[in-house]
Amino acid sequence: MSEIVKTRALVLRRLDFGDTSRIAHFFTDEFGKLSAMVKGAKSPKSKTGLAIDLLNVVELVLYKKNTREVQLVSQVDLIKHFANIRDDYEKYRFASAVIELLSTMITESEPHPKLFEGSIKILSLMDSSNQSPKFLFAKYFLFFLRELGYEFQMERCNSCGREIIKGEQASLNFEAGMFCTDCREDRLTNFNFSAELFELLFCLNTKNSPCSYLEEDLDTVLVVLEKFLTYNVGEFKGLKSIKI
C-alpha cells in the first residue's frame, strides 16, 4: 500500500514518458536517490513540469511504495533555482559534475542526509559566490569521498604513522593510502605530490580554510581524485562533465 510522504529533492535527470508525462530522477534528503513519474509534466501550462528541471531543488509530495521502482509524484513546489549557474558555462560545467557524481555513485533508496545538505550548499555557493567553481568542486569532491567512505588519511603516514606536515612531499597509493617522504621511497605509489600540491590537497580538505593555488595544480588534484575513485569503484568510469 502506498503512503503519502513529503521530502526535499534535487533534480538529477528527467526523461519524457508517453505523450504527457515525465520520469525524473531525484536525490532526496530522506529517501536517497529515487525515480518518480510526474503526470502531465510535458504540458506547457504545467507548473509541475517547469519545476522538474535539472539542478532545481524542490519539495515533493509522493505516493511512495517500497516495492515499486518508480514512485508517483502528487505535488511539486520549487524551492531553489540556480539561475546564475545556468548562465555561466564554467559554473554549469562543475555543477553538472556534482550531479554526475550523485547520479552514478549513490545507491537507490539509501539516505545520505549530510551529503544532501552538502550538495545543496556547494551548488548554492557556485551560484551566488565569486569563488572559482573548479575550486568549489574540488572541495566538494573530497567531501563526497568522505561521505561515501572512500576518504584517504592525509594527516599521517599509513606506513610509519608519523604526522605528514605542510611543506613536505608525500605519495598516494590508491589502495594503501598516503606515505610520508621517508616511507614512499620503498613503496609502490600511484601519485607523488610535490610539497605545493600536497599543501593544496590538505587545504582543500580543511573546512573554511583559504587556499592559494595555481590552476594547473587544481587540475592535477581533480585528475588524482578521479583516478582514485575509478580505481576503488569499478563501475565509475570518470567524469564526463568536466571534460566537455
Statement: 3-80 belongs to CATH 3.40.50.1000: no
Cα distance between the two ends of the chain = 44
Cβ distance 24 to 78 under 8 Å?
no
CATH architecture classification, 84-152+167-243: Up-down Bundle (1.20)
CA atoms within 13 A on the CB side of 197: 18
Q: What is the mean pLDDT of each run of 10 residues along the chain (244 residues)?
A: 91 87 94 91 74 94 90 92 95 97 93 97 97 96 95 90 90 94 90 94 85 93 96 91 80
pLDDT at 43: 75
Distance (Å, rounded) from C-alpha 203 to C-alpha 6? Answer: 38
Could you state, in order of their start, the residue ranges of all structural domains in the chain? 3-80, 84-152+167-243
What kind and span of H or E run contains 52?
none
What confidence score (pLDDT) does residue 1 get? 67
What pLDDT, on a 0 to 100 scale, did the predictor assign at position 92?
A: 97
Note the pLDDT of residue 214. Answer: 93
Scanning the structure block, which residue is given the C-alpha cell 611543506?
Answer: 167
Whether the model pTM is above 0.75? yes
Taking the C-alpha atoms of residue 35 and residue 24, their distance in angstroms, rounded to an integer, is: 6
How many Cβ atoms from other residues are within 10 Å of residue 182's Cβ? 12
